[in-house]
Every structure is written in C-alpha cells, then in structure tokens.
A and B are shown apart, each in its own frame.
Chain A
Amino acid sequence: MSARDAILARIRSASRGPSANVEEVIRAHQCGPQPLAYGDLVQRFVERAQRLASTVEQVRSRHDVPRAVAHYLEHQNLNRAALCWPEFLDLDWFGARISVAAQRPEPEDEIGITGAFCAIAETGTLMLLSGHDTPAATSLLPETHIAVVARERIVATMEDAWALLRQAHGALPRAVNFISGPSRTADIEQTVTLGAHGPARVLIVLI
C-alpha cells in the first residue's frame, strides 16, 4: 500500500463525523467574523499602512506619480534608477529625472515600482498578483518598494479582496502576495528591525 493510501485509510477508520459535502462547503465561501464597517476606507488604509512603517503619498492623477516618487527618492537620498512594471512605463519618468526599466529584477536593483491588484483597509495591506507583466520579484528584491494604487482599489478586508479576485480572474495566479510594510525581523532579542531580506522601505502612492 502506498503511503498515501495508508494515511488516508487510517484517517477514514478514525473519523467519526458525518461526511461533509466538500464542494458545497467550498461553493459557500463562508466568511468568518469581519471587522465592523469602516467609515472611510482610504483613511483607515492610510492610517494602518503608516502604522506598519509604510510611507503614503496621495496624488491627484496617474500623471503626478513620477513627481511624487522623485520627491520621495530625493528625500530618502536614493538613486534614481528603478525597475518598473510595464503598466507604468508610459508615465513621464524622464521629466522627473528618474530612469525606469521593465526587465527581470536582479538582486542589485535598488528600487522596484509596482502596481497592486487592490489594497486592504483593515490592515493597510497591498495585494499583488504574479504574472508576465507583474513579476513578484520587483516587490521583493530591491531595498525600496514603491507601489502605485488607485484609491478606488481599496477594499475593506481580505475577504473582499478574494471576492474581487474571483470576479476579475477566476483562478489564482501562481503567487498572491499580501504585503504589509517593509520586511522586518524581531529574531534578535525580540527587537523589531526593518529591512530583513525583503525591502527596507515601502512607499505607497495613492492616486
């Protein structure tokens, strides 16, 4: 008997409960208790994101993004060469004196500019989906991660994010990454230090 069959046989002989209709349970997508409604999703998102040590800049339109990014880079004293998801290549980066490229991220890259599928107000979290034009490494390898999100893409909870994803794509991409601020570790003396292996800085530009 294979390990699989042996394990499953043991489980079957031990289970006492009535058998559940697996497909029915899945289709129901029952949500657990969620937070009470937030008055203003944007305000909640910004507050929580800042609490997680993300920086949030709000701009009026897509075209204001390069200027906001330039301002941040200047302020942080960072280089002005960035990797960028293709969806933002059309912006006037040149005018903001930032050079952008949409290539495969390498460990040496310092700045990664991405979009986000949506953002979650409850926890100040970004939701990114991997894909051809949305490589996961852009939000991971560079020390500075800049995410551009439209205000209307802010949903209340992770449950809402899943519903939005099912509606938009049906199936899951290879990787769904929920990002809540710069990477951190508290392994040494339980003291929080930002910038573990992932980005040490996260800028969220809200349009």
Chain B
Amino acid sequence: MQVTALRFKRKAKQNLRNARLQSALSKIQVRFVQARADAIADLDDFEAVRQRATAIREGVLANLDAWLERFEQEATRRGAVVHWAETAADVNRIVIEIAQANQVKKAIKSKSMVSEECALNDALEAAGVQVVETDLGEYILQLAHEAPSHIVAPVLHKTKDEVSDLFAKKHDLPRKTGIAELCREARDILRPHFVSADMGISGGNFLIAETGSVLLVTNEGNGRMTTTLPRVHVAITGIEKVVPTLEDATTLVRILPRSATGQDITNYVSVLTGVKRADESDGPEQFHIILLDNGRSAMLGTELQSMLRCIRCGACMNHCPVYQSVGGHAYGWVYPGPMGSILTPLYAGLANTLPLPNASTLCGACAEVCPVSIPLPDLLRELRHRQSTQDLRPWRERLGLRVWMWLALRPLWFARATALASRVGHRLGGAKHRLRWLPGAGGWTHGRDLPAPAGKTFRALYRARKPR
C-alpha cells in the first residue's frame, strides 16, 4: 500500500469538513470508548491483567529468537510449513509461489492488516489469482477500492447509505436499506466463494510457541471458513506475535477484545495447529505460516522496542482525540492513530511520514488505555527526536526554537523580549483584550482568538511591587 502520510494535513482538513465522516466518527465515543470502559469494569482487576499481559509480551521480546525457533520447530512438527519474509515483497512472492504450486485460482481472505501492509491483494491479482475479502468490512473496501481507516473496524468511515449504494451498484440487486439486510446480502454473495476457493489467507493474532499454533480472534465466522474449507491455508503475521503458552495467549485474549470492541470475548477464538488429520473430513491439507519482519527486528533493543508489544486492539486510536477528529485515512497508510504514527515511520521511513509523530498533543489518552502499557507519547516524542537529529524538522520550526532557546538561556534578553511582546500584544488586543489575527500564528488565529497579554510581564510587575 502506498504511503501518503506526507499529505496528512491536507487530508485532515478535508476530513474535518466531511460531514458524513464526522457523523461516522462521532459513534466512536459510545461504540468503542464506552463499550471498552464497561468491559474493563467487568474484569475483577484490569490493572493486574494488564501488567501480566505486558510482562508476557516483554518477556517474549527479550528472547524473541528463542521463542520464534521454538514456535517454528513445533509448528513444523505438526505439519505446518513456516516461511520467513524480510519484506512485504517477500511475503507476496511466497504467497504467489504457494498459489502457483497448488494451481490456486481463487483465494478467500479473512481480515489481515499485515496483508494490507504488503498490498498482497494487488500482487495476487497481478499473478492471476482472484482474491475475495470475506470480512464484511474488508469486502466493502474491496468493492469500493478503498483502504481501511481503522484496524478493527475497517469501514468505520462509511455510512450505511454509502454501503447501500455500493452494494446496489456492484451486486446488481435491488437497493437494501437496513443494516441486517445488507449483512445478509453480503453473506449470500460470499457463501459460494468459501466453498469454491482453493486457498484461504488469514492473519494471526498470536503464535503459540508451546504448540506451534496460530490463534485467531474473529466475530463473523469468515475466519473459521477461511481456515477450514479451502485445501491450502496461509497465515501471515509479524514475527513479534509469538507468545510462550496457551495460558499466556489466554491472558491476552482476556484483554484484547475488551480493549478493542468492549466484548468479553470474540465470537470465535480459534487455535489452529497443523494440517487436516488423515481421518478428518475438514481442514486444510497444507498450512503455511509466513513470519514477516519488515522493520520489526530493527526496533528491538531500541527506545521503540515496547511498540512490538502491540496486540492491534485499536484502543489507542479509539481514544485519540486527533483520530476521532480526522479519521484513519488521513494517516496515509495501513495503521492509523497513535500506534500508526509510530509504526508507519518505522516501516515506511521517517522522511516519508514527517507529520505523523507530530500530529498528537501527547495528551496520553492512548497510553492510559493500552492493554500492554506501551508508552505511546514517549515513543512519538522519540520519533520527533529522530527527526530532529536527522535534520528533518521544518526550517521555520527549527529557527523558531533556536531563537526561543537563545532567549531562554539569556534571562536579560528574555525579559526584554517578553516585555516587548506583552506590550505590543496588549495594544493589538484592543478593548476586547484579544487578537483575531497574528502574523506567523495563522494556525491558531484561523479558528480561535488569542487572548491578549496583560501589557506587562509578571517579572516587571513583581519587581515594581517588591519593596525590597
């Protein structure tokens, strides 16, 4: 998927004015924020579960090589084939090779953000394999040729009416208006594909080293279809997703859906181990697991390592006031919101994503809800630091900060400059004591007045007052 993060500001501006999008985004508060709060309250001790979840993820990262090898060994022993991919392009190449070796004409997919990261669908189509997304949200996006705007609810940006129009046009059926009818229509259209597909492609929420299993959490049942019906199953996931045991996976499952959608548990939690047994009537004959690096190993041992704990629940974006304002597409790649503003620069390059780490007030709402305690604001700031040390910050900002620093280190000049600013600002403020426009601060004064300074600084007034 092409990275368009450099256009963040322009896209954000458009999205702020898009009434339909704003109406869609306004639902986050109740459907995600409130739902999560209720589900967390339902746990006896959320903080304890969160601490354990954090320890599990951090423990794995400290010995990631050993856990991956253990996973590979066990998965292979159970009949799966484990592939390693350095880059997104390698993932695509491996999947195409598997498809060609098995004369695959049609592949069905359940939702996988890693496959979005790889733009796998385009690669497969180019290789002559038909790809059908089966998660309702992803299916809608495939029909509309759009990218997901949320990692858990990929069509968060679309209203029901837009889906109605889209289905009527693409399915060539009478226009449905109810959400249930639309879901039903998608079910009916997709059902034949499940049966006729030769390959199922899924992501993987966790890899379990103990048993060599892939764990999937889904709600629609398409994930189960994708991994049960076609003769070849390919699971694609990041190398960081491994956890030691079934018990560890259970702790994470206890916290993942609660953080994501406010569910105690997703409708389906599937733990998939090896291929169809000789006496079984269903299940894939081949099970391929592709482990993608794509910049992940480079985060290990750095200030950004904690980002690898991420279990992709989306709570950080749901609670981010910036995401709530501009929606996911503004971020210009697969992963939006705070986690995306950290991952996208790391996967797609710092210079290609300059606005992202800065598009945050560092308010900390994300870190407060993160189920694996990732200090997201600190990581955003660390990326700003990297921009700064690599001279990637805009010259106006650098100049401004340099002048400010020069003054701040010279109290006498600082006092003179602030006294002048206070006096001038006060005059400009006039009788109403506020400025409607200030040169160089149009970003502020475009939507807000600036309350005028008092005319004299504290410093000056304090000195005048002090009898000593």
Contacts and interface: CB of A to CB of B under 8 A. Distances in A.
B31 A186 contact: yes
B436 interface: no
Contact of B282 (A11, A26, A130, A182): A130
Given A32-B52, A32-B53, A175 B283 contact: yes
A172 B273 contact: yes
Interface residues of B, number: 101
Nearest to A2: B84
Contact of B225 (A6, A12, A197): A197
Contacts of B245: 25-26, 29-30
A95 to B, nearest CB: 28
Nearest to A30: B247
Contacts of A195: 183-184, 187
Nearest to B279: A132
Contact of B268 (A12, A29, A178): A178
B247 A31 contact: yes
A188 B301 contact: no
- Determine the interface band of chain A, counting residues with CB < 8 A from chain B: 35 or more
B179 interface: yes
A184 B53 CA distance: 27
A162 B298 contact: no
B116 to A, nearest CB: 15
A17 B44 CA distance: 32
Given A125-B265, A174-B276, A8 B65 contact: yes
A5 B313 CA distance: 30
Contact of B183 (A8, A174, A193): A193
Interface of B: 24, 27-28, 31-32, 43-45, 48-49, 52-53, 56, 59, 62-70, 84-86, 90, 134-137, 140, 153-156, 158-160, 163, 179-180, 182-184, 187, 190-192, 194-195, 209-211, 213, 219-222, 224-225, 227-229, 239, 244-248, 250-251, 253-254, 261, 264-277, 279-283, 291, 293, 297-298, 300-302
23 contacts: A3-B86, A10-B297, A25-B245, A29-B247, A33-B49, A130-B282, A131-B277, A137-B281, A172-B271, A174-B276, A175-B227, A175-B228, A175-B270, A176-B270, A177-B270, A180-B264, A180-B268, A184-B267, A187-B154, A188-B179, A191-B160, A195-B187, A196-B221
- A-B residue pairs, 10 tightest by C-beta: A198-B221, A17-B62, A32-B251, A14-B301, A196-B220, A187-B137, A14-B300, A183-B221, A32-B52, A190-B31
